[in-house]
């Protein structure tokens, strides 16, 4: 019996226009009636996730910053922060690359420098609604959850290989889309965060379903038995997941959840 359902946001629950499924509220009420805990697991910041669901009366649990911050049942946990000296070294690495933009992701919000382009600010604002523009990221005083790196053109070819060469041995490095990657403390990922929630709620991997589309969902899908790859997922995610569903633009998450609920409670559509 499924007791927990976890979904990534971008490329998974949200369509390409960054909108929730038209029937999300209905399906969420069905999950509540069935006693299923719904969890959102995203690379987005916590404040953005809360804002996305503010129109609902809900008890959704949130895994934000790719596992760096967890909120459930009116409790919050910062899993592991980067040391200031470590953050400084990582920032300096990516500052040397042309066309690269950096977001310092803190417990109190996100930080970007005032030299960034409008195109980047527009892109960044989709995921970090609470952000501050600063003169120098090195002067930020906050608990740093992760460092997000953006490159509109050369992320996989240039930025990711450099990140792995310079910091792969010491940090968790995960690509969350073709234009974003995150650098986090070693061991921080969605999968570890889900295990914490499973332990807190007494839910086993066999009782957990999860949906993902990109490489930052890899550990999450490995942590649950009922793992689903979206039709639009990265090839490695499709290889990893036990099951498949339709694309994010064809309401794949809601379709699979409806099928599951119909099995649990025949007659419900």
Report how far residue 264's alpha carbon sits from residue 269's, in angstroms, rounded to the nearest whole number. Answer: 11
CATH architecture, range 84-185:
2-Layer Sandwich (3.30)
Q: What is the CATH number of domain 4-79+188-264?
A: 3.40.50.1000
Tell me the backbone φ, ψ of residue 100, rounded to 5 degrees: -100, 135
2-20 pLDDT, tens digit each: 999 999 999 999 999 999 9
What are the CA-CA distances from residue 218 to residues 137, 173, 229 (Å)?
30, 12, 10
- Picking from 93-102, 177-186, 256-265, which range would have the lowest pLDDT averaged per residue? 256-265
Rounded to a whole number of angstroms, the distance between the first and last alpha carbons of the chain is 18
Domain boundaries, the chain: 4-79+188-264, 84-185
Total residues found in the chain within this entry: 269
121-161 pLDDT, tens digit each: 999 999 999 999 999 999 999 999 999 999 999 999 999 99
> Could you give the dihedral angle defined by the CA atoms of residues 232, 154, 102 and 118, in that order, rounded to the nearest 10 degrees?
-90
pTM: 0.90
Two structure tokens written together for 148: 């997000």
Nearest to 242 by CA among 199, 212, 202: 212
pLDDT at 218: 97
> Could you give the dihedral angle defined by the CA atoms of residues 159, 162, 167 and 172, in that order, rounded to the nearest 10 degrees?
40
Two structure tokens written together for 59: 């008890």
Buried b (16+ CB within 10 A) or exposed e, 131-167: beeeeebeebebebbbbbbbbeeebeeebbebbeebb
Residue 96's pLDDT band (cuts 50, 70, 90): confident
């Amino acid at each position: 019996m499924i007791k927990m359902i976890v979904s990534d946001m971008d490329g998974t629950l949200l369509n390409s226009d960054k909108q929730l499924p038209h029937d999300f509220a209905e399906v969420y009420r069905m999950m509540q009636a069935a006693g299923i805990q719904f969890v959102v697991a995203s690379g987005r910041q916590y404040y953005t996730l809360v804002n996305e669901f503010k129109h609902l009366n809900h008890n959704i649990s949130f895994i934000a910053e790719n596992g760096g911050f967890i909120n459930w049942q009116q409790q919050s946990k910062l899993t592991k922060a980067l040391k200031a000296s470590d953050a400084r070294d990582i920032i300096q690495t990516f500052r040397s690359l042309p066309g690269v933009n950096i977001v310092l992701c803190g417990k109190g919000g996100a930080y970007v420098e005032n030299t960034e382009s409008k195109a980047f600010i527009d892109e960044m604002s989709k995921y970090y609604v609470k952000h501050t523009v600063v003169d120098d990221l090195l002067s930020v005083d906050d608990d740093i959850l992760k460092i997000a790196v953006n490159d509109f053109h050369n992320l996989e070819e240039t930025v990711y290989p450099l990140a792995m060469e310079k910091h792969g041995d010491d940090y968790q490095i995960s690509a969350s889309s073709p234009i974003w990657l995150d650098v986090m403390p070693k061991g921080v990922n969605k999968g570890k965060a889900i295990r914490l929630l499973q332990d807190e709620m007494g839910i086993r991997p066999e009782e957990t379903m999860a949906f993902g589309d990109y490489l930052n969902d890899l550990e999450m899908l490995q942590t649950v038995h009922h793992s689903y790859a979206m039709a639009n997922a990265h090839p490695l995610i499709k290889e990893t997941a036990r099951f498949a569903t339709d694309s994010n633009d064809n309401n794949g998450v809601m379709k699979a959840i409806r099928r599951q609920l119909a099995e649990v409670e025949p007659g419900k559509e």
